[in-house]
Amino acid sequence: MRKCFVFILLLFTGVFLISCSDDHKHETYEKTIGACLSQTTVTPYGVHLRQSLEELCESQNWKFVCLDAERDAAKQQTQAEAMAEMDIDLFLFWPTERSAGVAICKTFYEKGIPIVIMNGDIAEEGYPYTTAFVGPDQYMMAHDIGEYLVKTTPDGGNAVMINGGIASTQFLLRQQGFEDAIAGSGIKLLQVEFSESDRANAQNLMANYLSLYNDIDIVYCASDNLALGAIKAIDAAGREGLRIVSIDGMKEAFDYIREGKIELTVRQTPYDTALKFIETAQTIFLGKELPERNCFNDYVLITAENVDDYEPSY
């Protein structure tokens, strides 16, 4: 009986010590990052971005607290209000809507918390509230796609675009850069529709385009996820010869380039964006001044010529 009592006592003591050890571990985080991100569960890019951020923050001994708005601006507003009451050292923000993001940033700015915007920027009047933007240069990626098509389409052609979120800066720039690049060329942009970054919506939009136009030459999708939806509609309609271009560098897009179903994608990895955030946050925590607000990570255009030279983003 005594042996049994001693065993139970030792077991309880061990559990208590482990619990204390875990608590102590969590108390020793050097910094706490509070993140309100537009989409970390509803798109492949978002899922991999969150995973990369979690891993890289852990490597720095930073606590990473992340709230996912699932592309819902009202939900993001509520989440940001809750986050503002937490004890955080830096606010990481991927806004769902550019205008609504201004007031959110102002709240954290007035609390003296540095703000780093990721992927999609807020409206320009909110820039003074923010410390930095990290992510790819959305405008230039789209502009490079447009320039590629102008060079490879000397006789001109008709294009349609499937865009992402209508109120998201990143998708507005992916449209603006493309339109500026093809301006004055023989490429005509027939129509632009927004899918809210949903693959099923992209499929429906493409089916509608195919019913409206018999002379589509180019399909520009604001992400690979949307391109995959468009391909389903094109295959179902039995249409051939459409040139599909998109952005992100997903494995499926690489595979479709090899098969000839996608002509071009832009490889810009979630990991590179997360790493750029870590580098930027380190500079901020050291009290050093950033060279400029925009901290862009690299990207590369992928076609059949170089698809085997690079690994997919995810």
Average pLDDT over residues 215-226: 98
Q: Which of 36-45, 106-115, 193-202, 236-245 has the lowest mean pLDDT?
A: 36-45
pLDDT (0 to 100) of residue 28: 85
Residue 113 three-state SS = coil
Residue 169 and residue 122 in contact, taking contact as beta carbons nearer than 8 Å: yes
Q: With bands split at pLDDT 50, 70 and 90, how would you rate the model's confidence at 32? A: very high
pLDDT (0 to 100) of residue 261: 97
Which token pair is 276? 């750029």
Average pLDDT over residues 294-304: 97
Average pLDDT over residues 64-76: 95
Q: What is the mean pLDDT of the chain?
A: 92
Q: How many alpha carbons lie under 13 Å from residue 238 in its C-beta half-sphere?
A: 0
**The pLDDT of residue 217 is above 80:** yes
Residue 225 CA: distances (Å) to CA of 229, 249, 314: 7, 10, 12
**The pLDDT of residue 112 is above 80:** yes
Spatial CA neighbour of 72 closest among 107, 41, 105, 116: 41
- DSSP letters of 164-201? S-TT-HHHHHHHHHHHHHHTTSSEEEEEEEE-TT-HHH
pLDDT (0 to 100) of residue 65: 98
Average pLDDT over residues 215-231: 98
**The pLDDT of residue 6 is above 50:** no
Average pLDDT over residues 163-167: 95
Q: Domains (ranges, CATH) in the chain?
A: 29-136+270-297 (3.40.50.2300), 138-267 (3.40.50.2300)
pTM: 0.89
**The pLDDT of residue 9 is above 50:** no
Taking the CA atoms of the chain, what radius of gyration do you get in angstroms?
Answer: 23
Q: For residue range 174-187, list pLDDT tens digits in order.
A: 999 999 999 999 99
- Which region holds residue 131: left if phi is over 0, alpha if psi is between -120 and 50, else beta? alpha
Average pLDDT over residues 143-171: 97
Indicate the pairing of strand 300-302 with strand 265-267: antiparallel
Residue 266 and residue 220 in contact, taking contact as beta carbons nearer than 8 Å: no
**The pLDDT of residue 1 is above 50:** no
Which token pair is 131? 């410390």
Residue 244 three-state SS = strand
Percent pLDDT > 70 in the chain is 91
Q: With bands split at pLDDT 50, 70 and 90, how would you rate the model's confidence at 27? A: low
Q: With bands split at pLDDT 50, 70 and 90, how would you rate the model's confidence at 10? A: very low
**The pLDDT of residue 14 is above 50:** no
Average pLDDT over residues 37-55: 94
Rounded to the nearest 5 degrees, what angle is found at the Cα of 172, between the Cα atoms of 297 and 227?
Answer: 80
